[in-house]
Structures are given as C-alpha cells and as structure tokens.
Amino acid sequence: MKNIRPLRTPADHQWALKEVERYFKKPPAPGSEEGDRFDVLSALIEHYENEHVAIPAADPIDVLHFALDSMDKTQADLARILGSASRASEILNRKRRLTLDMIRRISEDWNLPIESLTGDYELARNTG
C-alpha cells in the first residue's frame, strides 16, 4: 500500500486525514487496493485519536436536544420517560437537573450512552 506509515505526530495525523478525505468523494470498492488503503488509514487515524485527541465531554442537555432533532424523538417522548411534561420542559430549559434515575431511563429507552448524559452542565439562572 502506497506510503502508509505510523501516525506519531499531529502532522502525521493531518496527513492521514487529508489522505482519507479524498475517499469520501469517491469511495473505493471494498476489498480493492484503495479500499484496503482506506481501511488501514482509518484504523490508524482512530488509534491516533483515541491515544492523543481529547474529546470534551458533551453537555447532557445538548445531547438531549440533538436526540430530539436527529432521532425523530419529541418532547412528549421525553415526558413519557420522565413521568411528566413539566419535568421534561424543566430539564430541556435547564431549570432542573437530570437525576441518575432519569439518566438511566433515557439511556435505556433511547439507546444513548450513559456517559453522554452524566456530564456537568449549567442550569438557567433565575432572573426574577
């Protein structure tokens, strides 16, 4: 495979990202030489990022909003899980914190990683 090498530095990482980027425009056939090259580069990038790139913890409320937008869920679905519409509204508007029990129920029902819902986040301040 053409010039594949270990990724040891940020420059190596950037090189590999640029190399795989072109495959997004024209995906290689699985099992072809280019397909194998894509797979190997992708594995190298994943390994490098797992070792060297810190991914900040997601804001749990942002995760819920993302789930509502991308998973075809509604606030009513969240209310069903949490037991009331007002509780769902308070959570989404940062008026109330998620409890461990809520986190477990949401994670199980919506198949979200528990870790994505356990990070610290700011509550809305009372302005009145």
Residues 30-39 pLDDT 10s: 999 999 999 9
How far is residue 72's CA from residue 90's CA, in Å, rounded to a whole number? 20
pLDDT of residue 128: 54
Question: 12-61 pLDDT, tens per residue?
Answer: 999 999 999 988 888 899 999 999 999 999 999 999 998 988 777 789 99
The answer, yes or no, to whether residue 1 has pLDDT greater than 70, is no
Write the CA distances from 41 to 38, 44, 58, 69, 77, integer angstroms: 5, 5, 27, 32, 40
Residue 84's Cβ-count burial label (10 Å; 0-12, 13-18, 19+) is: exposed
> Residues 68-91: pLDDT tens digits?
999 989 999 999 999 999 999 999
